[in-house]
Structure 1
Amino acid sequence: MKKIYTGLAVFSLIAMLSFDKTAAEPVKSIESAFISSLPEVKKHKMKNDINLLYLEDDLPVTVIYASISFGKMYETAVNAGIADVLSRTISIAGTVSYPGNSMYQKLESIGGEINISAGWETIGIEIKVLSKYSDLAFNILGDILKNPVFDEAGAASAKKLVLEKMKRDKDKPDETGVLKLREIIFGGSGYGAVPTENSIGAIDPLSLKTVWNRYASGGNITVAVSSSESENEVRTLADKEFSAVAKGGREFYTIDRDKIISNLKSVSGNIYLIPAELEQATIYTGTLAPEIKYNGNYALYMMNYILGGGSFSSRLMNEIRVKRGLAYSVYSLVRNRRNTGVFISFVQTRNESAAEVLSLIHDNIKLISEEPVAEEELQWAKESVKNSYVFRFSTINDLLGNFLEVEYNDLDAGYFKNYLDNINRVTADDIVNEGAKMFSQGLVTVVVGNRKLEKDLSRFGKVIICE
Structure 2
Amino acid sequence: MVANKLFIRSPVKDVAVLDIKLNLGSLQEAYPGIANVLIPLWRMSNYARELERIGVSFSFEKGFDALTLRVKARFSVVNKAVKLIEDMFLNPVIDRLSDAIREARTSISINREDTSVRSVAEALKVLFNDHPYSRHPIAYDYSFDGITKDDIKRAVDALKVLSLTVVAPEDMVDINLPYAGYAKVPISRFGSGNVDVRLEGKVQASITIAYPSYGISNLEGSFRVTVMNTILGGMGLISRLYREVRVKRGLAYYAYSMYWPLGSSGVLIAMAGVRREVIKETIDVMLGTIGNQVISEEELNMAIKNRIGRIKVTAESPEGVAMLYSVIPTYGLPADYYEKFISYISGLRPEDVSRELRNLSKPAIAVVG
What residue number does 2:303 align with? 381
1:37-436 residue pairs with structure 2 within 5 A? 44-45=1-2, 51=5, 53=7, 55-56=9-10, 59-75=13-29, 79-92=31-44, 100=45, 102-145=46-89, 147-149=90-92, 151-153=94-96, 155-195=97-137, 199-216=143-160, 220-228=161-169, 230-231=170-171, 234=172, 238=174, 242=176, 245-246=177-178, 249-256=180-187, 259-261=188-190, 264=191, 268=192, 270-277=193-200, 278-294=202-218, 295-368=220-293, 372-436=294-358
- Contact residue 48 and residue 88 of structure 2 kept, 8 A: no
Which structure is higher in RCO with an 8 Å CA cutoff and minimum separation 6?
2
Cα 1:104/1:281, change in 2 over 3 Å: closer
SS at match of 2:335: coil
- Contact residue 307 and residue 315 of structure 1 kept, 8 A: yes
Larger Rg belongs to: 1
Amino acid at match of 1:192: S
- Contact residue 299 and residue 427 of structure 1 kept, 8 A: no
- Contact residue 80 and residue 194 of structure 1 kept, 8 A: no
SS at match of 1:447: strand
What residue number does 1:22 align with? none
Aligned-partner Cα distance in 1 for 2:226–2:196: 29
- Contact residue 61 and residue 128 of structure 1 kept, 8 A: yes
Q: Which runs of 5+ in 2 are unaligned?
A: none
SS at match of 1:284: strand
Cα 1:384/1:140, change in 2 over 3 Å: same
Cα 1:204/1:296, change in 2 over 3 Å: same
Aligned-partner Cα distance in 2 for 1:382–1:222: 29
Shift of 1:292: 0.6
Aligned-partner Cα distance in 2 for 1:90–1:82: 12
- Contact residue 216 and residue 222 of structure 2 kept, 8 A: yes
- Contact residue 41 and residue 93 of structure 2 kept, 8 A: yes
Amino acid at match of 2:247: V
Aligned-partner Cα distance in 1 for 2:159–2:257: 33
- Contact residue 117 and residue 125 of structure 1 kept, 8 A: yes
Q: Which runs of 5+ in 1 are unaligned?
A: 1-43, 93-99, 450-467
Structure showing the higher helix proportion among its residues: 1
- TM-score normalised by the chain length of structure 1: 0.72
Cα 1:394/1:50, change in 2 over 3 Å: closer
Amino acid at match of 1:308: G
- Contact residue 302 and residue 381 of structure 1 kept, 8 A: yes
Amino acid at match of 2:164: V
Shift of 1:54: 5.0
Aligned-partner Cα distance in 2 for 1:356–1:425: 37
Report how many residues are paired. Answer: 365
Amino acid at match of 2:285: L
Cα 1:64/1:419, change in 2 over 3 Å: same
Which string of whole-angstrom CA distances, capped at 9 and with x for unpartnered residues, describes residues 214-265 of structure 1? 242xxx443333333x43xx15xx4xx72xx45x642525132xx223xx2x
* Identical counterparts, % of pairs: 21
